[in-house]
Structure 1
């Protein structure tokens, strides 16, 4: 006869075995991850949900669009998108021709598709971009709508081989940057005026609610080009993007996004090619970046605002991309306060006398943040101006950038990297005495020409494995 005592004993034994097996399995999974971190990348790719749209089409010409490059088609775009969404989704077609418009706001289950010779020209009138909840240099704000914007949407895409033209140059949006390099002269208003950029930063430091951080007209903070805010399951494929007012591709608080085959050619101020921010499971592949700032810059919020949001950017994958001009090929920071981890870069080509660095991490004691687990392999670098790998905890571009938030940078790995001209340094790494840059590995790295092997300050555990610099093996 089975008594209650026997049942209890069997239950204890069963639970004990379950706990032991669980611990054993956990250790095994951890061990696999540590021995081959690229499996994390493979799992991310395998498990990423894909966009899927109904086989229905909505041609913007049927909603009143005119392809003369002069008629404002904002209403036609919005009507087509709304009708598509109301009917369960599908493809909104932009036919061949030139279409002028203001802000385009996407909806659930909508694929905005540009035919091969379609070009969307975006208005240069700030009044065509309504005030929305967005972000500017890592600080959330109510500001001009991005040129293409989606907030809180699922299953949304921009596809096709057409062109998105922001029309920005030194006579309009770019002059707001306040730089003489882009047409600004003394007396012209800009983002640098005392009531603009620094006021926003101060509001965030004082925890002023985002709804009360209202900017827009008279404040000269340029809009992002394409922004997916709090979205899930997103595709941007094959388009060409030129002449952006500001950051170009900006997924913020967005998960599960593929950016595939996109060409970015925009040399204005702050013209980063792609800026994933507070975002996870982002794949950037088969793209070409030719930019006025960082080609790819992985972000996680600025200062107090980043710590308030506290969402790290994670599982960011860059594959088979080409980087031409820019401040850096793949960059992490400087808006980095919530941290970044699990970044994978493989099979990329970086080459231009106007490309400053290949891989770069930039932060400071005002930004803080933990940046860890960055893996780079199979990189072909022609020419970079400054260095191959730069890790900097003292980044300073806006005046005083010191505070009490000492950053962490650790576990940075480069493998199978070939460089023709590495500029000044193969590795430039600077940390704090109390927080050194930790665990840098260069394995199977060949740098044919560079002025100096490295510049190191407060670095702990740097390893050169089968590394040749200036034709000499580095031990």
Structure 2
């Protein structure tokens, strides 16, 4: 079947930085939907929008120079009254702690429980969240999400830049078969949130975020490769099974600020995520960071199972492996504690250049620590409970 193209200009959309175009663009989307799907074309120019809703068998296509710009009034966005797969919005503790409004999962470009949805941007296309302020939003200032794809089967995102998201730039929850290629994220909050999603490939992306680059729990089968990550928070706040990051470059400090702290330093490389306010099907396992470079952050690991303040008190982590990685310019002691839940931490063919008087890693008796051909550029201390160990040169051993 020949792909049908629907141009938003044919449905009344005009280039404007101050006139809202949501109704005209949605009319074009609805016509595409009624025709059974096709391509919704966004020509070059700036179009001011609130919330748009996409449907199955649809491509939202941005030409070079096309800009979808979020209107600055948070009341022009909506959640379409569709329940999210992310359940902590129903948990009174987190609602109060983070000041979450009932309409928390509202955003610029949305789709819910659809199939075969694509957002494609030519080089030079932009989605701008305008850093919308919502006095009733999370933390008393965060506005709408950027892209919300919830319960989508077969999702493809490619080519565009997303800037200044007022909350997470990509909420991809409960989705299956996700492919993301050559997407750039700048400023705002989180980059990709992948709660309850599976069978995911993300490659050749460039993230410069104010909050976590990647976040999510209950993830299955995630491969991220050849991405550049920069953040004023955590590179990876992750929990899941068969999660793999390959050939990624992760470096701080953040180019854009962490908005709630007004700070730029990178908190950590890997921070475990297993929140008790949501359902998680199985313990996290087989998380691998391979052929990656990590530089200029406070900590390499933040794992202290059972702590609610760290959102690590649902199901535990069983294994984490770093292989063929380079680590440098870390400032503070990493924590890796199972607190009674057995976990294996493997460092294989890793080079560590750590220049601090603090121990590099503190771990507990729940941890099996495996070092295979780990090269320490300078003497480096580890702490196991009350025992201190100092490693230098190249080490292979199990503890």
Count the aligned residue pairs: 352
2:74–2:134: 8 Å Cα contact kept in structure 1?
Answer: no
Matching of residue 468 in structure 1 with residue 375 in structure 2: yes
Cross-structure match for 2:167: 246
Matching of residue 291 in structure 1 with residue 209 in structure 2: yes
What's the CA shift for 1:392?
2.5
Cross-structure match for 1:416: 324
1:174–1:245: 8 Å Cα contact kept in structure 2?
Answer: no
2:354–2:360: 8 Å Cα contact kept in structure 1?
Answer: no
Cross-structure match for 1:314: 220
- The C-alpha deviation readout for 1:207-232, integer Å capped at 9, x for no partner, is xxxxxxxxxxxxxx743211111110
- Structure 1 counterpart of 2:289, from 359, 372, 376: 376
CA distance in 2, matches of 1:127, 1:366: 28
Cross-structure match for 1:205: none
1:378–1:415: 8 Å Cα contact kept in structure 2?
Answer: yes
CA distance in 1, matches of 2:277, 2:88: 14
CA distance in 2, matches of 1:368, 1:430: 22
1:96–1:116: 8 Å Cα contact kept in structure 2?
Answer: yes
- The C-alpha deviation readout for 1:352-371, integer Å capped at 9, x for no partner, is 13322222214477779521
Matching of residue 166 in structure 1 with residue 129 in structure 2: yes
Matching of residue 341 in structure 1 with residue 255 in structure 2: no
Q: CA RMSD in A?
A: 2.5
TM-aligned CA distance change 1:395 to 1:259, over 3 Å = farther
The gaps in structure 1 that reach 5 residues or longer are: 1-52, 179-189, 192-220, 300-311, 334-339
CA distance in 1, matches of 2:208, 2:172: 19
Q: Give the TM-score normalised by the residue count of structure 1.
A: 0.69
What's the CA shift for 1:313?
1.9
CA distance in 1, matches of 2:376, 2:274: 27
- Structure 2 counterpart of 1:407, from 315, 336, 355: 315
What's the CA shift for 1:87?
2.1
TM-aligned CA distance change 1:227 to 1:455, over 3 Å = same
Q: 1:112 is paired with a residue of what secondary structure? A: strand
Matching of residue 143 in structure 1 with residue 103 in structure 2: yes
- Structure 2 counterpart of 1:275, from 187, 193, 205: 193
Cross-structure match for 1:101: 49
1:439–1:462: 8 Å Cα contact kept in structure 2?
Answer: yes
CA distance in 1, matches of 2:275, 2:161: 34
- The C-alpha deviation readout for 1:405-461, integer Å capped at 9, x for no partner, is 663211211100012212223x4202213x24x111000010122432311124331
Q: In terms of Rg, which structure is larger?
A: 1
Q: 2:9 is paired with a residue of what secondary structure? A: helix
Q: Give the TM-score normalised by the residue count of structure 2.
A: 0.81
CA distance in 2, matches of 1:318, 1:139: 26
